[in-house]
Structure 1
Amino acid sequence: MTPYWLLWTFFFAGVFLSQRQALAAADSYAPEERPGLPPMLVVGLIAMTIMIGFRYEVGGDWINYEDMFKRFAFRDFAASLTSIEPGYGLLNWAAQSLGLDIWFVNLLCAVPVVAGITALIRREPNPWLSVLLAIPYLVVVVGMGYTRQAAALGFVMIGLAGLLRNDSVLRYALWVALGTMFHKSAIVCIPLIAFTGHRSRLLDLVLLASASVGLYALLLQDSVDRLVKNYIDARYMSAGAAIRISMSVLPAIILMLFRKRFDFDEDEYKLWRNFSLVSLVAAVALLVSPSSTAVDRIALYLLPLQFVVLARIPGTLLSRGFGNALISLYSGAVLFTWLNYAVNSRTWLPYKIWFFN
C-alpha cells in the first residue's frame, strides 16, 4: 500500500508548504481571478493520472474489465459501440485496433477523472487540501476501481466547473451526455443543477425536463430493464455503502448549518446546497431501498461535495493551521481505514504498475 501513501503524502506536504500562498489567494483574489495552479500541484495531478491509468491488476472489477477488453478483439466497430456504453466501447475497439492493451483504455478514462478534479479545484482557496480529500475515495477507490463510472463522474465534474463559470445549462447537459457514454447512471446529475442560476424557475424546469427526456430517449431507454434487473431485482448490496454515503452527509450537514461562514457566492451555494440535499435523501433512501448498490452508485456523483466543502473549513470554521491539520488527519484516517478494513480492499493491494508487470 506504499504507493497510495506516497501519493497522499505528496499532497499532504503540499497543504502545509503552500499554506501561506493559500491564505494570500483566498484573501486577495475572487474565485475567477485566482492564479493558475502551482507547478508542483500540476506534477502531482499528472502522477495521479499515471497511477490510475497504468495500474495493473488493481481494483475489484479488474478481472471483469480485462475479460471485457479481450472480447472486443472479436467485435467490429458497430458491435463495439452497441455492446456497452459507446464511449467505453470505442476506447476498447481503438485499443484492440492499435494493438494496445487495457492500459490504453484505463489511461484515457483516467484523464477526465483528473481533469474534472482539476477543473473544480481551480476555484478553491486551498486546492492542495481539496485534492488530498479526493484521494482516498474518489481517486483510489472510484478512479482505480470503477473505471467507467469514474470517467462519467470526471465529465460531470468538468461540466459543474463550467457551470460555476457561468456556462449554459445546455453545455452542462452536453458534458453529462458525454458522461453517459461511459456509464448511463450519469443521467442522474441533470436535476442537480435545478434553480442554481439566475434563470427563471419555469425556464429551469423546461430545460431540465427537455434535457432529461432527450438523454433518456437517446441513451437510456434500451437499458433501463437491464439496470433494474441488475441493481433492484437482484438486490445487490454494496459493502460499506452506509459509510460512503455518510462521508457526503457530513459536509452536507456542515454546509447547511454554517452556510454564511463559507465563502460561496449565491450560485455556488445553490449548487452545493442541491448536492447536500440529495446526499441527505440518499442516506434515507439507503434505509428503504431494496438495493444499496443502486443508491451507492448514484451517491458516487456527490463526491465533489466532500472536497469542496471540507477543504473550506480551514480559515472559516477553524483556524487555518488547525483546520488544515484536522481535515488532513480526516483524509488520512479515511485512506487508512479503507486500505486496512474495507471488505474489497485486498483487490487494490499490492498496487502494481503496468511497466513492471
Structure 2
Amino acid sequence: MIPYWILFMIPALAALNAGPTRRVRQDGTRHTRFSAAWFLILFALTLMIGLRYRVGGDWGAYFDYLDHARYFSLMDSLTQDDPGYRLLNELGLLTGLDMLFVNTVSGLLFSIGLIAFCRSLPRPWLGLTVAVPYLVVVVSMGYTRQSIAIGLVMIGLVALGRRRAITFILWVMLAALFHKSAVIMLPIVALTATQNRWLIILLVGITGAIGYQVILADSSERLIRNYVEAEYASTGALIRLTMNVVPAALFILYRKRIRINLAEYKVWRLFSLISLAMFFMYFTTSASTALDRVALYMIPLQMFVFAHLPDLMGRYNGRNSGLVFLITLYAATILMVWLGFGTFSRAWVPYRMWLG
C-alpha cells in the first residue's frame, strides 16, 4: 500500500501548503502550462501507471489485445473496436516491449489529460489530491482503455470551458478511438453551447449520428448487451455514483457563488444534473453497469467542485487551510477504505513494478 500513499501524499502536502491560483486568462479561465513540478508529477504518474505488474482488475484481459496484434495484421487490428488502443498494442510488439509499452503510453496519455485539467482549476494540487484515490489508483490502473479516453476528454473539457466547441468534439472523437463509450460525451457540446432548443436538438442529432457511424455502427448491439442488458450489477456502482452526487449537490447549492465564466458554468451544471439523475436512476432501473461506466466520465466533477469548494465555503482567494485539510482528509479516507476494504482491492495490493 505504501506506493499508493506516497503517490497521494505528494499532491496532498502541496495542496495544504499552496494557496489558490490567482492568475487568470482574459476569458476567466486559467493557464494550463506545465511547470517543472508538474512535469515531475507527469513523469511519476506515467511510471507508476505504466510500470505496474499484475496490478488492476483487468490485468489479464488486456493481454488478449496483445495476442490479437501478434497473430493478425495491422489493418485487421485497425478495423476492430477501439483502434487507437489496438495500434498501441501493434507498436508494443514492434518495439519488443509488449505490455510495458502499451501501459506506459496509456499512462502518459491519461496523465497529460489529468494534469491539463488540474492546471485549469483554482487549486490544481487539491484537484489532483481528489483524483488520486479513485481516478488514478482505480481507473487508470484498472480500466486502461477507458482511462485514456477520460484523459483525452478532460483536455476537451478544458477547451469547452474556453468556448472551443469544435476542439472539444475532436478530443472526444479521438478518445472514442480508445474506448467507444466516449461518444456519450458528444451531446454535452450541444447542450452547453446554445440556449436555442431546436438548435440543441439538431446538434445532438448530428453529433450523435457522427459518433454512431464512426465508432459504434459495427458494434452497437454488443455494446448494449455488455453495458445495458447485463444481468449482473457492477459491484460498488452505488458508491461510485454517490461519490459523484456529493459534488453535484454542492455545485447546485453554491452555484450562485462560484466565479467561473458562463461556458464553464453550463458544462458543470450539466455534469451535476447528469450525476444527480444517474444516482436516482440506479434505484429505478437495472442498468447499473451502464450507469457505472458513464459515471466514470463524471469524475472530473469531483475535482472541479472540491478545487473550488474552499473559496465557496470560505474567504474567496484566501488560503482557507482548514477547508483544504478537510477535503484532503476526505480524499485520504476514500483511499484508505478502497485499499483496505474494496471488494477487488486485492488485485491492486500489493503494488508490484515490472522489473524486466
Q: Deviations over 1:199-223 (max 9, x none)?
A: 7554443333212101101210211
TM-score of the superposed pair, with normalisation by structure 2: 0.93
Secondary structure in 1 aligned to 2:310? coil
Deviation, structure 1 residue 66: 2.1
Q: Quick one: distance in 2 between partners of 1:34 and 1:65? A: 36
Q: Quick one: distance in 2 between partners of 1:77 and 1:234? A: 31
Q: Quick one: distance in 2 between partners of 1:37 and 1:54? A: 23
Q: Quick one: distance in 2 between partners of 1:351 and 1:95? A: 23
Specify the code of the residue in structure 2 equivalent to 1:16: L
Any stretches of 5+ residues in structure 1 without a counterpart?
none
Structure 2 CA distance for partners of 1:59 and 1:270, relative to 1, 3 Å: same
Tell me the residue number matched to 1:253.
249
Percentage of pairs with the same residue: 40
Tell me the residue number matched to 2:125.
128
Q: Assess if the C-alpha contact under 8 Å between 2:126 and 2:328 holds in 1.
A: yes
Tell me the residue number matched to 2:327.
327
Tell me the residue number matched to 1:119.
116
Which of residues 238, 242, 249 is equivalent to 2:238?
A: 242
- Stretch moving more, 28-37 or 270-279: 28-37
Q: Assess if the C-alpha contact under 8 Å between 1:117 and 1:157 holds in 2.
A: yes
Q: Deviations over 1:221-270 (max 9, x none)?
A: 21111112222333231111000011110010001011122222221111
Specify the code of the residue in structure 2 equivalent to 1:59: G
- Stretch moving more, 46-55 or 341-350: 46-55
Q: Deviations over 1:160-181 (max 9, x none)?
A: 11111221x2221111111111
**Larger helix proportion, structure 1 or 2?**
1
TM-score of the superposed pair, with normalisation by structure 1: 0.93
Structure 2 CA distance for partners of 1:243 and 1:190, relative to 1, 3 Å: same
- What is the aligned residue count? 350
Q: Quick one: distance in 1 between partners of 2:66 and 2:349? A: 22
Equivalence map 1:100-119=2 (5 Å): 100-119=97-116
Structure 2 CA distance for partners of 1:242 and 1:84, relative to 1, 3 Å: same
Tell me the residue number matched to 1:158.
155
Deviation, structure 1 residue 33: 5.5
Q: Quick one: distance in 2 between partners of 1:64 and 1:48? A: 22
Deviation, structure 1 residue 116: 1.4
Any stretches of 5+ residues in structure 2 without a counterpart?
none
Specify the code of the residue in structure 1 equivalent to 2:340: N
Find out whether 1:346 has 2:346 as its counterpart: yes
Which of residues 211, 214, 225 is equivalent to 2:210?
A: 214
Q: Deviations over 1:78-106 (max 9, x none)?
A: 22113331111111112112322101111
Q: Quick one: distance in 2 between partners of 1:211 and 1:86? A: 20
- Stretch moving more, 53-62 or 64-73: 64-73
Q: Assess if the C-alpha contact under 8 Å between 1:255 and 1:273 holds in 2.
A: yes
